[in-house]
Structure 1
Amino acid sequence: MPEQKIAVEVDGRRLTLSNLDKVLYPAEGFTKREVLDYYRRVAPAILPHLAGRASTFLRYPDGVDGQQFYEKDVSRHAPDWVRTARLVNSGSRGGSEVNHHPVIADLPTLIWAANLAALELHVPQWTVGSRGARHNPDRLVFDLDPGPPATVVECCRVADRLREVLAEDGLTAYPKTSGSKGLQVYCAVRTRQPERTSEYARAVAESLASESPGEVVARMTKAVRPGKVFIDWSQNNPAKTTVAPYSLRGREHPTVSTPVTWAEVRNCTSVADLTFTAAEVPDRVDRLGDLFGGLTGQRMTLPRSR
């Protein structure tokens, strides 16, 4: 069947959309048209968390049951109006490569990305300047990953304790689901040293693991993780990214990495309590607003030590 294309205008930009009826989530019959509509509806909430950040796409051109791939460099196919950040990235074999990362600051760029079947949008904990310079981290993240049979329910118990620890250090914490198995906790921070967020996060994670060794682990070793919550502090490494708030996930169903309230965290008793899909999130945002909005406001200085 020939590729179906239509031309549209989005906020003054001409876009060519393709294969809108292609099913990207077979378990629900969820199509690319519905993916595009989801990102259109959630744009006011997601764009502030993408703007100024060098994005990495996780693309699923044949849907979530097909092959997927990460894309950092869009220089070969991005329209000339898409802003990109030219960044040198360290290669896995010790070398380096230059990538032109997309910087998603407006609705046309967001829709362009969605049309590429970039279901997942990943961003670092730092922004880039107008000339592409990397700024120091402005976000601190703790990625809570449950080792089966633990679930997001156990993550919630750990997250609430983590919130208390961060509050003692003068930091305001914001939780969101990963859209997969776990939970993530963020803070808006200010630091002059890029490595400080990783150092601080590691100290907090190891402190909680020492406090509750039967429930929490701060080491990545898989053998020590069953039944416990792994606090992945390493996601603060400037070379790493985390899934953006309100991003879809490439799972069986169109789940979304969704900001939640601390009341929802404390009241969580089942996985279903903190599972949100593309069908639910836009209305949830209309009702609750952007629960991650505080992250774009005042940043607090990281404690010098812990």
Structure 2
Amino acid sequence: MSGIKREIVEIQGKVLTLTNLDKLFWPEAGITKAHLIKYYLNMAPYILPYIYNRPLVMKRYPDGIKGDYFYQKECPSYAPRWVETYPVKHTGKIINYIICNDLPTLIWLANQGCLEIHAWLSRVEDIDYPDLAVFDLDPGEGVAFDEVLKVALLVRNMLEEFGITGFPKTSGSSGMHIFIPLAAKHTFAEVTEAMKRLAEIIVRAYPGGVTLERSIARRKGKVYLDYLQNGRGKTMAFTYSPRPLAGAPVSAPLTWTEVEGNLVRPDSFNIMNIIDRVEKIGDLFAKLPASKNRIDLFIKNNRLQILGANTINSELI
């Protein structure tokens, strides 16, 4: 599609008009809107299962990463009738979020300049009960990615002490995400509280390198362990989402071996090479949907904080 400004296509019985296909979205790399749409076409089998039935927030870059962007929660009135939506009640209003369960909707989103895929941690069948929790590892000023990897391993070890499995991925920016699949049985507030307690264990184990400080100025030299991303309505770049940074990086699943061996960088994977990686080693998050960790004790029992702080292997610090 490169070099074509406009094209009418039919995808799974739905007709779409793709526009401005030659517009540069990542100018330095010569990557156009057509490349972005092709990426979503190729990666749809791996992207759609993770966002299935999740309300989406569109982060739109109509003029590419060098232009203005905006977040859009409400499905626009001009969307095709076949674009599925789900109404979610917020304080004082109802927002009709887009639900992207098929390829035509995914390509329509790409054509809207929806560069990133931001999804809820819950699905519409249990909208107030998340089936995912997340730790967002965000390096403060002066923190190298090596340190982010080190903190990720510390989180992994702590989770394993409590029989919890975490799935690591690059954020596609400077940090990492660790996804924790759950049974959808606790509220967002309960999950946030559980993640806070787990985060506090990490801070006690490595106070010189990890912080829960919300002030950006006070995070200098440390990795911010953001548990507040587990709040109701919070979204983040989901699995295989492109990012609006030079080189078109994507948020890519990792193996813990890659984390241990310091084998990855924030920009290791992008929209041009991720398909080869997936075809070669498979989808590293394939087991995530079937995994259901239990966090009940962290919601009900404060004493686990003390136990956790005593069981972390300190040799990583």
2:315 paired residue number:
none
Runs of 4+ in 1 over 6 A off after TM superposition: none
Q: Tell me if 1:60 matches 2:51.
A: no
Offset at residue 193 of structure 1 (A):
3.1
Deviations, residues 193-238 of structure 1 (Å, cap 9, x unaligned): 3322111111111111111111110121223211111100000011
Secondary structure of 1:265's counterpart equals helix
Q: RMSD between aligned alpha carbons?
A: 1.6
How far apart in 1 are the matches of 2:16 and 2:187?
41
1:126 paired residue number:
122
Offset at residue 4 of structure 1 (A):
4.0
Secondary structure of 1:109's counterpart equals helix
Preserved contact between residue 59 and residue 117 of structure 2 (Cα < 8 Å): yes
Q: Judging changes above 3 Å, is the alpha-carbon distance between structure 1 residues 11 and 164 closer, same or farther for their aligned structure 2 residues?
A: same
Letter of the 2:118 partner, please give it. H
Q: Tell me if 1:172 matches 2:191.
A: no
Structure 1 residue corresponding to 2:220, chosen from 226, 238, 246: 226
Secondary structure of 2:179's counterpart equals strand
How far apart in 1 are the matches of 2:264 and 2:233?
34
Preserved contact between residue 86 and residue 99 of structure 2 (Cα < 8 Å): yes
Letter of the 1:137 partner, please give it. P
2:257 paired residue number:
263
**Structure with the largest fraction of helix:** 2
Preserved contact between residue 140 and residue 222 of structure 2 (Cα < 8 Å): yes
> In the TM superposition, what are the counterparts of 1:1-306 in structure 2 within 5 Å?
4-90=5-91, 96-129=92-125, 134-190=127-183, 191-268=185-262, 271=265, 275-305=268-298, 306=304
Offset at residue 299 of structure 1 (A):
1.2
How far apart in 1 are the matches of 2:186 and 2:138?
29
Secondary structure of 2:270's counterpart equals coil
Offset at residue 270 of structure 1 (A):
6.8
How far apart in 2 are the matches of 1:15 and 1:189?
36
- Note the residue ranges of structure 1 that are not aligned, 5 or more in a row: 91-95
Preserved contact between residue 152 and residue 183 of structure 1 (Cα < 8 Å): no
Deviations, residues 7-47 of structure 1 (Å, cap 9, x unaligned): 10111111110011111111111001100001111111110
Deviations, residues 243-277 of structure 1 (Å, cap 9, x unaligned): 110010111221101111111111116736x6211
Deviations, residues 125-176 of structure 1 (Å, cap 9, x unaligned): 10002xxx61411011000000121132211101111111111222111000
Secondary structure of 1:294's counterpart equals coil
Letter of the 1:205 partner, please give it. A
- Note the residue ranges of structure 2 that are not aligned, 5 or more in a row: 299-303, 305-317
Letter of the 2:211 partner, please give it. V
Aligned residues: 295
How far apart in 1 are the matches of 2:263 and 2:287?
26
1:93 paired residue number:
none
Identity %: 37
How far apart in 2 are the matches of 1:255 and 1:64?
12
Secondary structure of 2:278's counterpart equals helix
How far apart in 2 are the matches of 1:292 and 1:267?
19
Preserved contact between residue 120 and residue 243 of structure 1 (Cα < 8 Å): yes
Q: TM-score scaled to structure 2, two decimals?
A: 0.89
Offset at residue 294 of structure 1 (A):
1.8
Letter of the 1:185 partner, please give it. I
Secondary structure of 1:55's counterpart equals strand
Secondary structure of 1:88's counterpart equals strand
